[in-house]
Amino acid sequence: MRYFIELSYNGKGYHGWQNQPNAITVQEVVEKALSTLLNEPVSIMGAGRTDAGVHATQMFAHFDTDTVFNTPNLIFKLNSFLPADIAIHDIFKVKPDVHARFHALSRAYLYRVAVKKNVFNVDSCFYVKHGLDVDKMNEASKILLEYKDFQCFSKSNTDVKTYNCDIVQAEWLVKDDELHFVIKANRFLRNMVRAIVGTMINIGLEKIEVEELHTIIKSKNRSEAGFSVPAHGLFLTHVEYPKDILL
C-alpha cells in the first residue's frame, strides 16, 4: 500500500529535507521514526527538497508498506517519538502510482521580512533595517508573471532539464511589522525564491529600478539578479495535488 504523510517542521536544526551523508535531515529523522514504529525499513519521498534552514508548514511525502496499522495511533506515536521541531498531521492511503513529488500540481512559499527589530522572530524573519518601498516591490512582483524562464534566479550548476516555471501568484503583503512575500508556481528552481526576494529587496531599497527586472530575467544570468536572502525566513506553506489521488 502507498500512503501519504502530511507534516510540518522547523528547519533550523536540519541540513534541508533530503538525505545527505554526514548531515542530519528531516527525511532521515522521519524515515527512522517510521521504520522503528512499523518494525521494517521505510523510505519516504518528499514533495520537494527544501534547503538547509528552510521551514515547512505543510509538506507531503509518500511511503510504501504492507504493514497494517491504526492511523490515529501511528500519528500519535510518531509525534511522541519525533523531536519537537517535526510534527505529523495526517497519514492517508493513495493510489499505488501516486508520487508525492511528481504529482504535485503546485507549491506555495512564504518569505517573511521584518521591518522592525523583534527578538521573538529572529529565527523566522529576515530583518531589513532600512525602509522598503512595498508598492515598487509589488510592481516588480507582477513582472514575474510575464515570464517562464527563471534561470537568472537559479543556483549555479543546477542539473535541470528546464528553467521554466509557471508562476501564478507573486505578491507582497503587509502584516504588522512584517512584509510577507507569497509566491505560488507549478515548480521552483534551487534557491529561486530566496534570489527573487533578494532582488525584490534591492528594488524596495531603490538600489535598482522596477523595470530593470525585465533585463535581469532576460539575461538568464544569476550574477545579474540580487543577493540570496537567508534561509530562516522561508517557509513551504502549501502543496496542491489532484483530487483523485486518494484510494
Q: What is the DSSP letter of 161?
A: S
Give the CA radius of gyration of the chain. 19
Please report the sign of the dihedral spanned by the C-alpha atoms of residue 129, residue 132, residue 138, residue 143.
negative
C-alpha cell at 59: 509538506
| Catalytic annotation, residues | 51
Burial (Cβ within 10 Å: 0-12, 13-18, ≥19) of residue 180: middle
Spatial separation of the C-alpha atoms in residues 186 and 24, rounded to whole Å? 28
Residue 24 neighbours by CB under 8 Å, 6+ apart: 13, 14, 15
Spatial separation of the C-alpha atoms in residues 228 and 232, rounded to whole Å? 12
